[in-house]
Chains A and B, each alone.
Chain A
Amino acid sequence: MMMRLLFIFLICLQAKATWAQTSTTATTSQSPTIEESMTSKPKAPPGFEPIAGKDKRAERVNANVLVAVSYGSIFTLLIGYLFFLVREHRRISEEREFLRNKIETQKSSS
């Protein structure tokens, strides 16, 4: 019963989203060509006057965060790789020891 209710709820959500989309009046025939859509700056609508000054989008990203993430990722990768090397060396030592003991046991019993 709960699963049926869940399905009905999800179907209603989907129908609402689809109906909302089809009822918009935005035309799609004004979509830019492939070449235009590949440029970084979008076309300004008529009557738009840009604000003088720096690009606001660039100012929103904090340089400190970028630098911290960069150096953090470098050290994380290095430390991660070191852990991998140490773990592999240890694993090989253990397996060698195990195999040697087994071979010695086999030789002494035969």
Chain B
Amino acid sequence: MNEVATILKGAFAIAQKDWQTEFRSKEILLTMGFFGLLIVLISAFAFYRGDLPAYALAAGSLWVAIAYSGTLGLGRAFEREREGDCIRALLLSPMPRQAIFLGKLLGIVSFMFVVELVVVPAVVIFFNQSLEFTQLWRLGVIMGLGTFGYGVVGTALAASLLRARTRDVLLAIVIYPVIVPVIMGGVKATTAILQPEMSVSDFELWARILFTFDVVFIVVSFWIFEPLLID
């Protein structure tokens, strides 16, 4: 129990550092948010015809925007740790490694949630969707589970690439194949929510799959984080 409290305290301290830095600079939020918006716009131009209902297209566009803007944010968040060799200071501190992982995860996931507050309305407007409350809270659940799953995998892999050459390119190459189930589940569940007759059974099925993914990968990432980070 003591160890769990230590990890949580350390994680919160690291997350707070990220939040404070971001509150002052707003660099990641602005770039991620604007990039996500642009992806939605490009998708609308590329695929959508204004006179057609396009809930499946809206779902796909939303998750593509999340995936791409998330990669941008991950890269930038860990670049900050490289500057001034902050990661070495973190590793030299008596904090457990899992606390570092959890802290960075909390930071990234919170930034992605803020960006989603911009991207989701953009998708709803550009693709001519409507959201009732029953749809909205379900969408929130799926976004939460999907974003968390993406964040878990992304944080572990981005941390491993901290000292790698060509890390900017490699980050996208290593993340996207692994998050295929998240994208699949997210798009399917979002489609089930947005379609004219909302399919609650589909939503529940994919929500369960996403939840299982999150649980399995947070365990794997907790274990793998330390060997990946240290030489």
Mark each residue of chain B from 40 to 55: 1 if its CB lies under 8 Å from any CB of chain A, else 0.
Answer: 0000000101011110
Chain A residue nearest to B55 (CB atoms) is A34
Chain B residue nearest to A38 (CB atoms) is B56
* Cβ of A29 under 8 Å from chain B: yes
* Cβ of A24 under 8 Å from chain B: no
Determine chain A's interface SS by DSSP, over half rule: loop
Interface residues on A, range: under 10
CB of A34 within 8 A of CB of B51, answer: no
Q: Which residues of A contact B51 (CB under 8 A)?
A: 29
* Cβ of B57 under 8 Å from chain A: yes
Q: Which residues of A contact B53 (CB under 8 A)?
A: 33
Mark each residue of chain A from 23 to 40: 1 if its CB lies under 8 Å from any CB of chain B, else 0.
Answer: 000000101011100000
CB of A31 within 8 A of CB of B49, answer: yes
Q: Which of A31, A34, A35 has its CB near the most chain B CB atoms (within 10 A)?
A: A34
A48–B15 CA distance with the chains assembled, in angstroms: 65
Chain A residue nearest to B49 (CB atoms) is A31
Chain A residue nearest to B52 (CB atoms) is A33
Q: Which residues of B contact A29 (CB under 8 A)?
A: 51
A22–B31 CA distance with the chains assembled, in angstroms: 40
Mark each residue of chain B from 131 to 168: 1 if its CB lies under 8 Å from any CB of chain A, else 0.
Answer: 00000000000000000000000000000000000000
A39 vs chain B, min Cβ distance (A)? 13
Mark each residue of chain A from 1 to 42: 1 if its CB lies under 8 Å from any CB of chain B, else 0.
Answer: 000000000000000000000000000010101110000000
A43 vs chain B, min Cβ distance (A)? 16
A34–B47 CA distance with the chains assembled, in angstroms: 9
CB of A35 within 8 A of CB of B56, answer: yes
A31–B47 CA distance with the chains assembled, in angstroms: 13
Q: Which residues of A contact B54 (CB under 8 A)?
A: 33-34
Chain A residue nearest to B47 (CB atoms) is A34
Q: Which residues of B contact A35 (CB under 8 A)?
A: 56
A29–B49 CA distance with the chains assembled, in angstroms: 10
Chain B residue nearest to A33 (CB atoms) is B52
A55 vs chain B, min Cβ distance (A)? 27
Q: Which residues of B contact A33 (CB under 8 A)?
A: 52-54
A33–B54 CA distance with the chains assembled, in angstroms: 8
Nearest 9 A/B pairs, CB to CB: A34-B56, A33-B52, A34-B57, A34-B54, A35-B56, A31-B49, A33-B53, A34-B52, A29-B51
Chain A residues in the interface with B (C-beta under 8 A): 29, 31, 33-35
Can you sample 11 A-B contacts with CB below 8 Å?
A29-B51, A31-B49, A33-B52, A33-B53, A33-B54, A34-B47, A34-B52, A34-B54, A34-B56, A34-B57, A35-B56
